[in-house]
Structure formats: structure tokens, C-alpha cells
Amino acid sequence: MFALPEKESRAPSTCPGPASTQDLDSNCGDGLERECSRKPDQKLPELYGVGDPTAGFSSNSSHLSSRGGIIKWFWDSAEAGYRTYHMDEYDEDKNPSGIINLGTSENKLCFDLLSKRLSQSDMLRVEPALLQYPDWRGHLFLREEVARFLSFYCKSPVPLQAENVVVLNGCASVFSALATVLCEVGEAFLIPAPYYGAITQHVCLYGNVRLVSVYLDSEVTGPDTRPFQLTVEKLEMALQGANSQGIKVKGLILINPQNPLGDIYSPAELQNFLEFAKRHELHVMVDEVYMLSVFEESVGYRSVLSLERLPDPQRTHVMWATSKDFGMSGLRFGTLYTENRDVATAVASLCRYHGLSGLVQHQMAQLLRDRDWINQVYLPENHARLKAAHTYVAGELRALGIPFLSRGAGFFIWADLRKYLPEGSFEEERRLWRRFLDHKVLVSFGKAFECKEPGWFRLVFSDKAHRLCLGMQRVRQVLEGKSQVAEDPPACQTQEPRDRHR
Amino acid sequence: MFALPEKESRAPSTCPGPASTQDLDSNCGDGLERECSRKPDQKLPELYGVGDPTAGFSSNSSHLSSRGGIIKWFWDSAEAGYRTYHMDEYDEDKNPSGIINLGTSENKLCFDLLSKRLSQSDMLRVEPALLQYPDWRGHLFLREEVARFLSFYCKSPVPLQAENVVVLNGCASVFSALATVLCEVGEAFLIPAPYYGAITQHVCLYGNVRLVSVYLDSEVTGPDTRPFQLTVEKLEMALQGANSQGIKVKGLILINPQNPLGDIYSPAELQNFLEFAKRHELHVMVDEVYMLSVFEESVGYRSVLSLERLPDPQRTHVMWATSKDFGMSGLRFGTLYTENRDVATAVASLCRYHGLSGLVQHQMAQLLRDRDWINQVYLPENHARLKAAHTYVAGELRALGIPFLSRGAGFFIWADLRKYLPEGSFEEERRLWRRFLDHKVLVSFGKAFECKEPGWFRLVFSDKAHRLCLGMQRVRQVLEGKSQVAEDPPACQTQEPRDRHR
């Protein structure tokens, strides 16, 4: 998927690979549907890993700086895979044998609802204040709306304050800004791995900040109760390991619901991780971009903002966006919530480079305040469609005898294809991924998420039924060793089974 | 306007001060209306200056990194001045004795035309492709439109290519991205001073790149034919000076039409500057954000893209935006044009942090392709209004006996108030600026543009007649030593003289 440069150091192994230019993140969930029976690699366990994406690269263009060369490399390496996809995208009418995308974590199930809402007349408002230089933190009317929205949906014990809100053009920018204002060059954040790989770039490209992976195992051992379980003990060990290498760790990144695991942290776990961070004076960045995409009510998801008391509110920074929960990754709206005014101000100072149009700020305020539409139309329908799509893909995987994780949140299933890798190597993982692509289905491999066990793949299910059906047919053909894409794909209806949108 | 930290090094002198959180840039033009008669400071001439905004600062918050502290400082220092303004903004109905803003370079003359155009039904289009992850360089339909638009308005000898276009959320982001991909940390760009001060932050906050000022004089000496004239000789001397200090200079920034001077480089001058850059293997970043705001046709402005042959096309990078020429600084649309694919790709790789909404991309494409409206409605009317507003303020300055520069481009007049500074110090300049603010009129002082001669001020004239009238009354009161703002302002009509919009 992504071409590593010749003689690359360990550094490129932390690059997000397929997740680079698009959101090729892959999620699953943490209810193990079938036990992960295959043992992890027999070598000594790796407990942490320090990524330094800038090591070992050199710019081969005399016109770019060395960091410019690295920045370009990230684009090129991701492009290598995406070029294949974009040259041959599936289209049911124009290119029915094109590539089906189960790789990009986008919710394509609700464009009908969104188009209708965003086309209403209240959305197009042009007034001088929206066309002039904004408050770089975001217009006050929008920050107030965000505070009310998060208070309600995060179930905060007290109303959240507009003063603590900063609005940016997406969470990639929030990561970039936070890394820069919290860390010196070369300092690091802890992050449980596997994780959404693009974060490597977000903290590195501008901020030159590294990630220290807290490697999680699929095998359930010791006190663990589920695969890839994060514990304070693992955090402590990774922190000690980094310290022993002279790496200064400044913070911890938590993704909740997790991507690609789809894991949900319980309030008690959250509290423990926050206490761990407080003990070590670490900032905690909590990425909650999937918080409204929990489609199984029984999961009992809790936002960090719902906790009665944050152990270290001055070092706790929460991010959310409309990209996932409102299926609008192209809208570019993200937000930071932090009680730390210094951090909010420093991030605001960078917002000249992360600003979004006043017209879009108006649209977002209109959307977020429309509680009737969100509660009575959008969320119930979105959750129903996510659930149906998930059920279908989960059923297909079960039929194939493939173990997978899935807990009822996010857009993805984290599938264990280790049985198809005789040697259990990343090279095999990559070859399998390439076979999928050759058979016209794009998925994401675990290495892109810094998963330490070869053989895990992320499959995105938040797409229309006929595309899912065709995609899963192709997955099956690859796994069953059939070398040809069927000329006449069998029973995938181009009409959705129950209704047009599923 | 901006509070310098205690014991600041020379560094803060390069900070844009009032231009920080808003676009407090100030322009003029290069036709000297009255000869600048006052001699510059008698001390030895400074020919260049190396700015290092990061020197001498330390973060006073244990929660921020040292660079985070600097980033926050830029916000706070600008806020100090803006807080006064925003707490007491003029409003003809609600706060008629509030502060009139002649400081922010925004065109407030055409909101009626823009509102009407942007409210048309073709502007609100919601389709899946616009809501999904974009090509980070910008949607192809928009890059094609930008290429056609620039080909036409820059009068390029051959059609420009969409492949060379990258779309970002404003030119601040273009500067930030270019500085990062072209320079190592601590390297520098040459820039003729006075210049739009916010560029200091744009290249520094993320990129940690410095500016080397090429100081220009108001006095016309030697072969110069106009005040503040840039010549290759001055560029050479500044470059040598930087080299002798061990500063690695990687490029040259040219603003054309210039801000705050409003200077227009002739094609021959442009060619000379580009040849200079080529000789020294310097990149040239040409900022043409005021290219369609040349309201005197006789000026004969030429875009760098109109040149028959660029001396070093691989190192020539042009930026343009709708902020100034379409009076939409809140819209956040800027673009880079470069034939250097490596540079375009590296900038594109940073576009995850500088992306703009798909819905806005659609709007911008609709606007840029509407040649009838631009040519027959918007530009003629905008130029007529700019000209009328300029005529008014120029007349007021003449009546006050104030020399000024103005050449018929941009939104500002660069006024020589040195006769009001008995000692000719920056401290006096600052006190005069404060007196203006105390008398409810916000202007920009020369120090914010790194002007080396105290006493120059930028006055923005692109506002409605009644606000200009009131603003100029207050300017007059300060300069004539009257200490009170008149309780009943005399003849400033709240209706525009000829029509509502002037």
C-alpha cells in the first residue's frame, strides 16, 4: 500500500501508510466475537515502541528542506496505494467492476438525511460579520452552541463553557496545534497501539512530536478480560521504557471509542488512565470523534466530560468533530474543549492556520442547535443503519470463520486474518492486502495502525448494502483462494434490501 | 497596542503587534503625494535586520511548551490592543461614540454585492462528494476554476494548470506551509520592510523560520526615484549582511501590490528581483492578494504570472486569496500556484491542517467562474467605491498638511506623521497611536510593519463614508491637539453621500 523508502529506519513503521491522505483509519470494537486463538509472535514481547518518523529520511529534492522532504514522503507513500484506488473507483453505473472502498472510515449511510438538512433555507446566511475576520477561536455564537451541544450529548455534570471551546477545521488540526503548544521538538505522547495511524503525522509534520506506542496484545492474559486491553500497568511500563531511552513524554492520547479497536473505556478505566496521567503530570488528549456513533445502546459509552470530577482538568483536553458522527469529513469542523485557558489561547493563536469559513460556522451552529432533528431523525436512523450494516458484515465474517472484534461503536470491524498468514509476517500481511486490492476491494492492514501482530485488518461497514455485499464477496473470493473476480457478481442488489439507504 | 514582555530581546520588535489576531496590515501606494521632507534618523543607516521572534521569551505556564508560550504571547500581545477596540466598537445606532476601525485591512464597501451573489441559489449545493474526504490539494473542479481564473486575471502568456494549484484556508496558511517545506528550523526569508507584519508569525509559529528585513528609506537618494524603493542593491546588501551573521537565507518574499506601501513593482523591477533570487538560488514567494484591488487603471499593475518567462520557475511560488480582492477575509480561501511539483505536493501534504469545507469549495468555484458578474458588476463597482473612499481620505490628509504615499492600489494610505513626533522615537509613535485610540479611532503604526523610521501610520480607507468621515474627524482632532471627542460629531452623515454604499 505504501512504498517504504529504501533502507528506511524503524521510523517509517510508525507512518500511517494507507491512512495518510484519506482517513484510512480502521476500527472494530472490543466484544470478541470469536476468541482470538492464534498465539502472538513467539519472540520476546514488545511492550512499547518509540516512533520517530523523521529518522532516516533525506530529501531528494534540492528545492525542499529536509522536513519538507519528509512531509512530501508521507503524501507520496499514501498516494501510492490511493492512486490505484482513485484510478478505478467503483461506481454502480459507470464502473461496476471498480474497487470497493472498505478502507476509508467514512459514514456513507446518511447522505440523504444530511443533504436534506443542509439544504434547508436556514443554512445559507450571508452577513457582513461572517465575511469579515472572525474571532480566531471561532465565532462566539458557534462556541456557545458547541458548549451547549457537548453539555447535552456528553452529559456533563455542569454546563460546559463557550470560553473553553476553540473551533478548528477538523481534529487533525487539533492534534497538530496541541502537539506544538504542549511539547518541545522531539518530545512525545503515549498512545495505545493499534491506533488511528494518521495521528503520527498530525503530531509530527508541523509539531515534530513523536508517539510512543503502548503495544496491546490480542491474547487475553493476566488480569485482562478482553483482547487489546489497555491497563495502567501497560501505560506505566511504556512510560518507563520511553524514559529509559531519554524520551520526554508529555502526554497521553486516548481515542474513545477507540479506532481501530472500537473499544470503549469504562468510566472506571477512564478514571484510572486520567489518574495515571496526573501522577506523571501528563496531558491527556481524549479524541471522542465517534462518541455519537455508538449504535448499540447496551454499550454504555461515557464521555470523559461526563465524569463527576476530572483528576487534572488543566491537563485534560477533549476533541470532537462532525466528520464521523455527522458523516461529514469534507465539512472540516472540529473542536477542542479545555479548561486550561493558556492552552486554549495558544491553540487559538494557531487558528489563523486552521480557520473555517464564517458561512460554515453559521451552518454548524444551525445543525448543532437543531436538537429535534438530531434526536428524532438523524441519530435514530443513523444508528439503525449502522447496526444493520454491521450485522451484515459481521455475519459474512462469521460465515467465513474469521474472528473479529466489535463492540457496537464506530464504522469498522477489526478482523483477525492471521490464519491466512502462514509465517505470521508483516510482509505476508502486506501481500494479502495487495491481493484484496487486486481483487478490487480496499481494506486497511494492521501495520498502518501500528498493530504489533501481523494479520489484523480493519473493514469499514458504514456503506450502502450493495457495495458492502460486493466488497464482502470479493473478500471471500480472496480468502477462499479464488483468483478471479466473478464477471457476473451473484446476488448483490443495487437496490438496498429493506430501503434505499439501509 | 501590544505589550512587550519585560526585558524583551530585539525579537519582539519583529512581531506584527497590532496585526496579530486580526489583519491589521496597512498599505499605501508608491506615488508620493507630498515629498517626504523629514530626514530619517541621523544614526548610521540600518540596511537589514534579522528577526528572531523566538529569542528571549520563556513560557510562564508550566502547562505549555516554550514554543507554546511564544505562540500564546503573540495572541496576548495583539489582544491587548484589540480588547480595547472590541469592547467599544463603533455602531452607528448602538454605539455612535465607539471606536472607528481604520486599522484592519478589510474591504467593507461591497457587502451588498457579495451578499447578493453569495445568496443566489447556485451557491448552496450539498452532494456526497462535497461531504466526503476531499483531495487535500482541493477538489479538482475548484483547482481547474482557479487555474482559469488566474490565467485570465493575471494575463498569463499560456494557460495555467490545475496541477500547479493547491487550495488552502487563506494565505496565512500558504506562508506557514511554504516556510515549513522550504526551510530548516532557523533559516530565513528576506522581506522588504515595511511589510505586513503578520507574516512574521506565519513563517515562525509553526515553521520556526525567521525574516530578514530589507530596510527601505522614505528619503529618495542615489538612483532611487521614489520613497521606500526596493532595489537589487538593497537586496544584495541585506543578503550579505545575513550571511555574515551566519543566517541561512532560503527565499525572498515580495508583496505586490505591496502592503503597507501599496507599491507596485514594474515588470522590469520584478524581473530584476527574480534574477537576483535565481543568482542566489533563493525561492521567491509572491503575495498578490491585492492584485484585483488596483483601483487606478493608470497604475499598470502586472502579476508575476504575466511575465513571458520566469527566471526560475521551480523556485517561484505565487499566492492569491479572496480575502482582499473579494472582501471576504472570513471566507478563508487562499491558493498557491507553483510549477514545482515537489513543493506543491509537500504543501498538499500539510493541507490536512489547512483544508476548507467542500461546500465552500463549491461556492468559490461558482464565484470564480462567474466572469460576467466579476467583470460587469463587482470589479467596476468595487474600484469606483475604493477610488471614492481613497479620494476622500487623501483630501482630508492634504487638508491637514500630512504627506502620504498612495498609488491607487490596496485599501490603505501610508501617512507620514513624523512632524507630530518631536523626538522622532518609536515611543512617541506608540503614544500617538494610543492617543488616536483614546480618541476612538484605531489605526496602525509603522513599527508593526517593521518600518525603521518612527512616525509612519497606515490608515485604511475601504469603509463606508460616514465611518470614514467620523474617523478622519477624530484623527484631525488628535493631530490638532483637541483633547475631547466632540459630543456631537459635525457633518458626518450616516447616509452615504451619493448612495448608500458609496
B324, HSE (Cβ side, Cα atoms, 13 Å): 31
Q: Chain A contacts of B169, Cβ < 8 Å?
A: 169, 353-357
Print the SS3 string covering B330-399: CCCCEEEEECCHHHHHHHHHHHHHCCCCHHHHHHHHHHHHCHHHHHHHHHHHHHHHHHHHHHHHHHHHHH
Q: Chain B contacts of A130, Cβ < 8 Å?
A: 330
Q: Chain A contacts of B355, Cβ < 8 Å?
A: 169-170, 332
Torsion angles phi and psi, residue B309, rounded to 5: -150, 125
Q: Which DSSP string corresponds to B397-413?
A: HHHHT--EE--SBSSEE
Contact between B402 and B472 (Cβ < 8 Å): no
Q: At what angle do helices A358-369 and A111-118 cross, to 10 degrees?
A: 110
Average pLDDT, chain A: 87
Q: Chain B contacts of A345, Cβ < 8 Å?
A: 72, 75-76
Rounded CA gap, B213 and B14, in Å?
Answer: 9
What was the pLDDT predicted at A493? 60
The contacts of residue B438 (CB under 8 Å, 6+ apart) are none
H/E run at residue B459:
strand B456-460
Instruction: Report the 10 Å Cβ neighbour count for B60.
Output: 11
Q: Distance from A158 to chain B by nearest Cα, in Å?
A: 24
Exposed / middle / buried, residue B42 (Cβ in 10 Å: 0-12, 13-18, 19+): exposed
Cell numbers at residue B150, please? 488566474
H/E run at residue B451:
none
Does A126 contact B115 at a Cβ distance shorter than 8 Å? yes
Q: At what angle do helices B341-350 and A66-86 cross, to 10 degrees?
A: 80
Q: Does A427 touch chain B (CB under 8 A)?
A: no
Single-letter amino acid code for the residue at B254:
L
Q: Tell me, rounded to whole angstroms, the distance of Cα B436 from its chain centroid.
A: 22
Q: What is the ipTM of this complex?
A: 0.89
Inform me whether the pLDDT recorded for A489 exceeds 60.
no
How would residue A60 be classed by pLDDT, with cut points 50, 70 and 90? low
Torsion angles phi and psi, residue A174, rounded to 5: -65, -45
Q: Among A365-369, A390-394, B14-18, name the one with the lowest average pLDDT.
A: B14-18
Cell numbers at residue B176, please? 506557514
How would residue A76 be classed by pLDDT, with cut points 50, 70 and 90? confident
Does B353 contact A104 at a Cβ distance shorter than 8 Å? no
Cis peptide before A40 (omega within 30 of 0): no
pLDDT tens readout for residues A161-205:
999 999 999 999 999 999 999 999 999 999 999 999 999 999 999
Of A482, A399, A486, whose CA–CA distance to A435 is shortest? A482
Strand partners, B317: B285, B338
Q: Chain B contacts of A331, Cβ < 8 Å?
A: 131, 357-359
Q: Distance from A322 to chain B by nearest Cα, in Å?
A: 11
Q: Distance from A370 to chain B by nearest Cα, in Å?
A: 18
Cell numbers at residue A188, please? 512525545
Distances (CA, A) of B498 to A265, B48, B345, B385, B493: 66, 47, 50, 11, 11
Section A257-269 average pLDDT = 94
Name residues 83-122 of chain A within 8 A of B (Cβ): 104, 106, 108, 111, 114-115, 118-119
**Strand, helix or coil at B416?**
strand
Contact between B186 and B245 (Cβ < 8 Å): no
Rounded CA gap, A373 and A283, in Å?
Answer: 36
Q: Distance from B306 to chain A by nearest Cα, in Å?
A: 23
Does A128 contact B108 at a Cβ distance shorter than 8 Å? yes
Instruction: State the count of interchain CB pairs (< 8 A) between A and B.
Output: 247
Exposed / middle / buried, residue B392 (Cβ in 10 Å: 0-12, 13-18, 19+): middle
Contact between A260 and A196 (Cβ < 8 Å): yes
Q: Chain A contacts of B346, Cβ < 8 Å?
A: 64, 68-69, 71-72, 75
% of chain A with per-residue pLDDT over 90: 78
pLDDT tens readout for residues A90-112:
999 999 999 999 999 999 999 99
Q: Does A350 touch chain B (CB under 8 A)?
A: yes
Name residues 47-66 of chain A within 8 A of B (Cβ): 61, 63-66
Does B132 contact A329 at a Cβ distance shorter than 8 Å? yes
Distances (CA, A) of A478 to A383, A412, A484: 30, 20, 9
Inform me whether the pLDDT recorded for A254 exceeds 90.
yes
Cis peptide before B267 (omega within 30 of 0): no
Which of B357, B360, B378 to substitute to test the interface with A, most A CBs within 10 Å?
B357
Inform me whether the pLDDT recorded for A487 exceeds 70.
no
| Each residue's pLDDT expressed in tens, for chain B with a length of 502 residues | 323 233 333 333 333 333 333 443 332 222 223 323 333 333 434 667 777 655 555 555 679 999 999 999 999 887 666 778 888 999 999 999 999 999 999 999 999 999 999 999 999 899 999 999 989 999 999 999 999 999 999 999 999 999 999 999 999 999 999 999 999 999 999 999 999 999 999 999 999 999 999 999 999 998 899 999 999 999 999 999 999 999 999 999 999 999 999 889 999 999 999 999 999 999 999 999 999 999 998 988 999 999 999 999 999 999 999 999 999 999 999 999 999 999 999 999 999 999 999 999 999 999 999 999 999 999 999 999 999 999 999 999 999 999 999 789 999 999 999 999 999 999 999 999 999 999 999 999 999 999 999 999 999 999 999 999 999 999 999 999 864 444 444 567 644 434 333 3
Taken as a whole, chain A contains a residue count of: 502
Does A69 contact B346 at a Cβ distance shorter than 8 Å? yes
Contact between B38 and B456 (Cβ < 8 Å): no
Instruction: Report the 10 Å Cβ neighbour count for A395.
Output: 11
What was the pLDDT predicted at A279? 98
Rounded CA gap, B481 and A245, in Å?
Answer: 66
pLDDT tens readout for residues A117-132:
999 999 989 999 999 9
pLDDT tens readout for residues A14-58:
333 333 334 433 322 222 233 233 333 334 446 677 766 555 555
Inform me whether the pLDDT recorded for A349 exceeds 60.
yes
Rounded CA gap, A143 and A434, in Å?
Answer: 44
Distances (CA, A) of A218 to A41, A178, A230, B267, B473: 11, 31, 11, 66, 75
Rounded CA gap, B164 and A183, in Å?
Answer: 34
Q: Does B278 touch chain A (CB under 8 A)?
A: no
Inform me whether the pLDDT recorded for A394 exceeds 50.
yes
Q: Distance from B258 to chain A by nearest Cα, in Å?
A: 20
Contact between B252 and B282 (Cβ < 8 Å): yes
Domains and CATH numbers, chain A: 11-108+402-479 (3.90.1150.10), 114-373 (3.40.640.10)
Q: Chain B contacts of A350, Cβ < 8 Å?
A: 71, 205-206
Contact between B165 and B422 (Cβ < 8 Å): no
Exposed / middle / buried, residue B431 (Cβ in 10 Å: 0-12, 13-18, 19+): middle
Cell numbers at residue A299, please? 454499550
Rounded CA gap, B457 and B296, in Å?
Answer: 22
Strand partners, B210: B188
Rounded CA gap, A28 and A105, in Å?
Answer: 11
How would residue A484 be classed by pLDDT, with cut points 50, 70 and 90? very low
Taken as a whole, chain B contains a residue count of: 502
Torsion angles phi and psi, residue B172, rounded to 5: -55, -45
Contact between A285 and A254 (Cβ < 8 Å): yes
Q: Chain A contacts of B353, Cβ < 8 Å?
A: 169-170, 172-173, 176, 202, 205-206, 353-354
Does B331 contact A357 at a Cβ distance shorter than 8 Å? yes
What was the pLDDT predicted at A410? 96
The contacts of residue B149 (CB under 8 Å, 6+ apart) are B368, B369
